[in-house]
Chain A
Amino acid sequence: MALVDLLYRCPRCGHDPLPGKGGRALCPACGAAYSVARGGGIRISGENIGREKRSVREVAGSLTLPGQGSSAADAPQPRLHGTPVRSEGSSVPLARTPEATDGPVGKAAPSGGESPGVIRETRARVKIASRETDIRFQGRILGFMEVFGKTREGRLRLESEALVFRPDGGSEEDRWPLYRILSVQASSSSVQITTREAGLVSIKVPDESIHLWELLIHRALQATWHARGWGRIVEFQPRIRAE
């Protein structure tokens, strides 16, 4: 994890992704440098910016998700909406308003070319819980834990209607329709979703911010639930619940 897991794009100009390492990040577009300040907060510096310290909440709060436009009014404004967002060198169109339709569920042959509703795509490591086991102590059950199967590497694609994982060299892709997702939670450096068909799925995105992916999945789910008239989601774990 690093500062760029929190600041998944430049808070000043919206450049995406914001490159960085450890507690530092530097925007190649506007030249803003971000670092973790001593005693808490984030220090922002750069030419024509000066040097200032802001609270983490303030800086993170100024971020908008890709597809919502850039975040700072007083900075150079790249028009992100409706243009391709770079993701690992590949161009992926931004989100459109999701339409809720009952797409295919589970395994499917890989789609040729990009689906029109693709929100974002990246490399991913995915593992699926195969069973649960009990945890006992002093002869009594304390609780249960999940046991995961083998980790697979491939590409993860968030579409307006589904989350799709295509394993490297695999012929079948896993497709989890958003309306079939039961819960979403960040767990350290992974995001976990529970689906009706596959159960618990743990996802790591080594090249991108896990926080960004969690928020993107949240937003896509909100849109799906809204489109289906299921209300506004107020809780994503332990199960999705709407007002």
Chain B
Amino acid sequence: MPQMLFMDRVSKRYDSGQEALSDVTLRVDQGEMVFVTGHSGAGKSTLLKLIALMERPNKGRVVVGQTDLAKLAARHVPLHRRRIGVIFQDHRLLADRSVFDNVALPLVVSGYSRRDIGRRVRAALDKVGLLNRERQFPVALSTGEQQRVGIARAVVHKPPLLLADEPTGNLDPDLSREIMHLFEAFNQVGVTVLVVSHDLGLIKRLTHRTVRLEHGRVL
């Protein structure tokens, strides 16, 4: 399998002096599903931020697909982000927009036609089981439902790489399992999935590769 993600001796130090990642090397193949675990502050979130270009590494190389992110010009950063779907622990939905408009955002910024947007948004909402809630606003939904809207937004433009940052952090075990099965379903249709989670119990039951981070290093 060709590589989807390759991090080559990557280090990231924040301006505060905190060393979030040091000398991390990680390879994820296309179509793989990988868990990244570790204590809070171990650098899990930083890892995802480097991939989505929300941060730049101080040292080392990050390659997504065939693209070396260090060589990516600023004007191509948006295009790079369109090839990735990101899910956050706090889901980061826009409170003043309906579920439909939230999910549609990645398509709107990419300039899809109105008809395509409607079709794709409904398909994405259907996958996460929220098709009948498209008119509602995020506050009217439960936490689990909000997280599923976040997932729908991350997959609506069919990105080949899906990143999830503690997607089950605020959910009870049943909902967590449900969400993880959702990721597995996406993985089965060929999407590469990278999930950051500290829910070790849940991860153990799912048989996927697990990468452990400790103090910014891969164990």
Pair from one complex: no
Interface of B toward A, CB cutoff 8 Å: none
